Amino acid sequence: MSSARRRRLYLCEVIEMSKFMVLLYAPESALARPGTPEFVAQNAAYGAVYEDFAKRGAFVAGDPLGASASATSVRVRGGQQRDTSGPAVQSAEQLIGYYVLECADQKEAAQLAATIPAAAIGTFEVRPVFVT
């Protein structure tokens, strides 16, 4: 087989799993602030979720994001780049983090997403990762 025809198989393909992006939206004003007991408890809860996802073999990646005020939105129109401070979209909930999960289907990914602590105050989008 020529090298052009060879393709690396990933574990999720071998066991028929798909990747899903979980976008976490929540009001930043409702999040615990660093240095508070609530922040310590929140981090412990997220640690437990990570351990569960890892134990299931579902965790691929995930991180919290900095405050939406720290964002730079980039638009290119007519070949010209225009950067603006702040999030691309203003809303009551801000993008606060993400996970990439390997799951059997979108229903399983949504069930796992529901265990993420911010689900109690926010809204999550679960989307399949496009694979060619």
Could you read off the pLDDT of 69-122 as tens digits, one per residue? 999 999 999 999 999 999 999 999 999 999 999 999 999 999 999 999 999 999
pTM of the model: 0.83
Helices (H) and strands (E) in the chain, counts: 3, 6
CB-based contact 103:60 (threshold 8 Å) = no
Percent of the chain with pLDDT over 90: 85
Nearby residues of 59 by Cβ (< 8 Å), 6 or more positions away: 50, 53, 99, 101, 102
What's the first-to-final CA gap in the chain, in angstroms? 20
